[in-house]
């Protein structure tokens, strides 16, 4: 049953529950305030799951994913990615078409070994966003990542960029590494396509795309 609350001068707000609601309790705090909604948190609209893609590619042909238009911020999440070749690199490219990679993309990463916290360094790459290097394909090796990308599709007169983090199993030695990545391109346009691939062999796993704002 819906509860309808009428405004003092016009309009109304309806509070509703599913038809099969179960037995649940919402506790109202004993204080004065304003209810926070998904459209009011930090000035962003709520996070919306836009797509879920199962990866099954071989080499640089990769898997192409299209971003639905209308968002200023996309969150790209990779879950349980596995490569078929030892000492592998996994990259992302962006494109205005399906598929001619943006040659203006520049990125870098800082890495640190998780087990000892001291084996660390940094490197830069052109034309790709690199998620890992020397990734292994041992039984327990996999890759997880979260990348935030801004202005890919909503302002084609300005450049795009972003940042994120990854962690993965390293080639052949039961070590693991974490990356902090950043990227930016001076290219302009509507970059509504991304491609994710392993450079030398197969790549499987799942990629989720969220839209924010």
Whether residue 43 is predicted with pLDDT greater than 50 in this model: the reply is no
Average of pLDDT values for 146-175? 91
Q: What is the pLDDT of residues 127-143, one digit of tens each?
A: 999 999 999 999 999 99
Q: What is the pLDDT of residues 82-126, one digit of tens each?
A: 999 999 999 999 999 988 999 999 999 999 999 888 888 999 999
Q: Which fold has domain 45-212?
A: Jelly Rolls (2.60.120)
- Cα distances (Å, whole numbers) of residue 179 to 40, 93, 123, 134, 164: 32, 17, 11, 12, 8
Q: What is the pLDDT of residues 30-42, one digit of tens each?
A: 666 555 554 444 4
Give me the residue spans of the domains in the chain.
Answer: 45-212
SS3 of 119, please? coil
Q: What is the pLDDT of residues 178-197, one digit of tens each?
A: 999 999 999 999 999 999 99
| pTM for this predicted structure | 0.79
Range in 4-13, 18-27, 144-153 with the lowest mean pLDDT = 18-27
Note the pLDDT of residue 55. 97
- Per cent of the chain over pLDDT 70 is 90
- Residue 39's contacts (CB-CB under 8 Å, 6 or more residues apart) are 45, 46
């Amino acid at each position: 049953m819906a509860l309808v609350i009428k405004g003092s001068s016009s309009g109304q707000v309806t509070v509703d529950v599913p038809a099969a609601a179960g037995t649940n309790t919402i506790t109202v705090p004993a204080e004065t305030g304003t209810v926070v909604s998904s459209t009011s948190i930090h000035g962003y609209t709520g996070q919306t799951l836009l797509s879920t893609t199962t990866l099954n590619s071989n080499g640089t042909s990769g898997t192409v994913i299209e971003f639905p238009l209308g968002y200023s911020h996309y969150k790209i999440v990779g879950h349980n990615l596995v490569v078929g070749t030892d000492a592998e690199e996994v990259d992302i490219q962006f494109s205005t078409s399906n598929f001619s990679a943006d040659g203006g993309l520049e990125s870098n990463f800082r890495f640190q070994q998780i087990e000892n916290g001291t084996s660390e360094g940094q490197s830069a790459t052109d034309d790709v966003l690199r998620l890992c290097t020397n990734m292994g394909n041992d039984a327990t090796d996999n890759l997880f990542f979260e990348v935030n990308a801004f202005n890919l599709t909503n302002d084609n007169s300005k450049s795009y960029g972003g940042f994120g983090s990854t962690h993965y199993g390293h080639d052949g030695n039961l070590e693991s590494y974490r990356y902090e990545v950043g990227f930016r391109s001076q290219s302009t346009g509507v970059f509504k396509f991304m491609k994710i691939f392993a450079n030398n062999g197969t790549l499987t796993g799942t990629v989720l795309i969220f839209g924010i704002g």
